[in-house]
């Protein structure tokens, strides 16, 4: 079994010029927890997850935002929680998205995908073909398809 046989092809994504506000709207509207970030050619340039945002809204003392690049997290002692959350909404997605994206090719074997998801301890892999985003595979996709028809 290969990636293209189990991947979800209706992939919600954001552009590299989008804000955290648009990311959060997609998370909430579609009940998802992570999105690929693509450029104008639909090439995968980053990935943003709910964990990236969680780290940002937590209370910290040693981080500041500088010119759309997060040197760390917004200072927690100086701002109230609501103020920090408000500031985060208009940040550029690339300020906190992970640039090192775990991805596989459209024809990757499912057993290799399972190994990557397990070893890297991640929930999703983006799937590309010829450098372009074509799908996404979650742990659930691998499990559902691997054991399909084998359970009573």
Domain boundaries, the chain: 3-146
Question: Which of the four pLDDT bands, split at 50, 70 and 90, describes residue 10?
Answer: very high
3-146: which CATH number, 1.25.40.390, 3.30.360.10, 1.10.579.10, 3.10.580.10? 3.10.580.10
Residues 14-60: tens digit of each pLDDT = 999 999 999 999 999 999 999 999 999 999 999 999 988 888 777 65
Quote the CA–CA distance of 6 and 19 in Å, as a whole number: 30
What pLDDT does residue 24 have?
96
CA angle, 52 then 33 then 90, to 5°: 55
Q: Which of 36, 147, 40 is closest to 97 using CA atoms?
A: 36
pTM of the model: 0.80
CA angle, 71 then 77 then 78, to 5°: 80
Q: What does the chain come to in residues?
A: 152
Residues 54-109: tens digit of each pLDDT = 887 776 544 444 443 444 444 444 557 777 788 889 899 999 899 999 999 999 99
What pLDDT does residue 71 have?
44
Q: What is the Rg, in whole angstroms, of the alpha carbon atoms belonging to the chain?
A: 17
Q: Does residue 8 have a pLDDT over 60?
A: yes
DSSP 91-114: SBGGGTSBSS--EEETT-BHHHHH
């Amino acid at each position: 079994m290969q990636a293209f046989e189990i991947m979800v092809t209706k992939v919600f994504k954001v552009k590299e010029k989008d804000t955290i506000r648009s990311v959060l709207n997609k998370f909430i509207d579609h009940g998802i927890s992570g999105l690929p970030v693509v450029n104008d050619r639909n090439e995968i340039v980053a990935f943003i997850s709910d964990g990236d945002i969680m780290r940002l809204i937590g209370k910290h003392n040693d981080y500041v935002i500088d010119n759309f690049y997060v040197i760390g997290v917004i200072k927690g002692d100086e701002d109230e929680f609501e103020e920090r959350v408000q500031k985060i909404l208009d940040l550029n997605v690339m300020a906190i998205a992970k640039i090192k994206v775990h991805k596989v090719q459209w024809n990757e074997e499912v057993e290799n995908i399972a190994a990557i998801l397990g070893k890297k301890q991640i929930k999703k892999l983006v799937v590309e073909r010829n450098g372009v985003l074509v799908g996404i595979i979650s742990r659930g996709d691998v499990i559902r398809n691997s054991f399909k028809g084998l359970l009573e």
